Amino acid sequence: MKYIHTADEHLRLDRPLCRTDLDWMQTQTDILTFIVDKANELDADWLIGGDLFDVPRVPPSIINMFLNAVRRLDNKCYIIAGNHCLPWHKQENLMDSSIGILASLTDKKIHYLPCEEYNNEGRFEHSVALTDDVLLVHTLTFPTEEDIPYGANATHSLQLLQKYPKCKFILTGDMHQSFVFKDKDRYVINPGCTTIQTADMLDYQPKVYFIDTGDKIDVTTQQDKEPVYRYGNVKIEAINLPNDVALLTDSHLKEKKDRDSRIDSFIQTVKKNGKMTLSFEDNLKKAMETSGLSQDVISILEEIRSEE
């Protein structure tokens, strides 16, 4: 079997703060188009490992954007939900979500796969077997135990391979960094996010994986034994997605830092002013008049005051 494996598209109407795209919807459309074109070129099914949508209920325009892309797909599209897609992270709330609309479709191209639900002290894990050899899992997974950040509620590749011992290919989603982990003749493959949506990932190159599971060969030689299979011609290829770094920025973080610094300066000034009343508005006005604040700080405080 041949697959294009993606996850964590996080399709959304609002443009992330770290982006400057003039048309964010078109950017997302272009990514979906690229994925479909690549799947058609490679004669592959499209596997979506969760979090297709950024929130449980997205506007119709987001759903239609995805459906318009899938209409051009030559083969099939298999989808599982992720924690972002399900209200309260529960499979039972599927029909109260946008992903539930896709699950209700009778379109022969789109196949929603209901998952087994597992929760380990708050760690979301949904899994479903696509075939005897291929398992889709949405849970926070790192390549090795050493890669898990301190305090993170996550699993790692070997744990998943031990938990699902019959699967040769475990295809994951939820962790936004891509990796391939190989143990003997078994694999954990995580594609990462398809677009940069947070400032801490400005240096990341989004990608998807093309997976050709190869030929299954029965190599059992003894009678009265369960078949033992090996695979030949397995291919796993990373495919970089379009990613215009000129459209990425962390200026909003710098602006926030400057704003916080100005407000902190005002607070320190107020603390040093001994002439205070019980009226916050009086104290604010007096501090503004006597502390020699910059015009930037005065503008911020006037804005807050007017909103109150």
Q: What is the pLDDT along the chain (308 residues), one digit of tens a residue?
A: 999 999 999 999 999 999 999 999 999 999 999 999 999 999 999 999 999 999 999 999 999 999 999 999 999 999 999 999 998 888 889 999 999 999 999 888 999 999 988 877 778 999 999 999 999 999 999 999 999 999 999 999 999 999 999 999 999 999 999 999 999 999 999 999 999 999 999 999 999 999 999 877 766 656 666 666 667 789 999 999 999 999 999 887 676 666 777 676 666 666 666 554 556 666 667 766 666 777 777 777 777 766 65
pLDDT at residue number 173: 97
Q: How far separated are the first and last CA of the chain, in Å rounded?
A: 61
Q: For 205, list phi and psi in degrees, rounded to 5.
A: -105, 110
Strands 155-156 and 141-142: parallel
Q: How far apart are CA 215 and CA 131, in angstroms?
A: 14
pLDDT at residue number 106: 82
For 287, the token pair is: 């501090």
**Which element (helix H / strand E) includes 103?**
helix 98-104
Q: How far apart are CA 182 and CA 143, in angstroms?
A: 9
Contact 154, 140 (CB under 8 A): yes
pLDDT at residue number 91: 86
Q: How far apart are CA 41 and CA 35, in angstroms?
A: 10
Q: How far apart are CA 220 and CA 228, in angstroms?
A: 5
Class of domain 2-247: alpha beta
Angle between helices 24-41 and 60-70 (to 10 degrees): 20
Q: Where are the domains of the chain?
A: 2-247, 251-307
pLDDT at residue number 222: 60
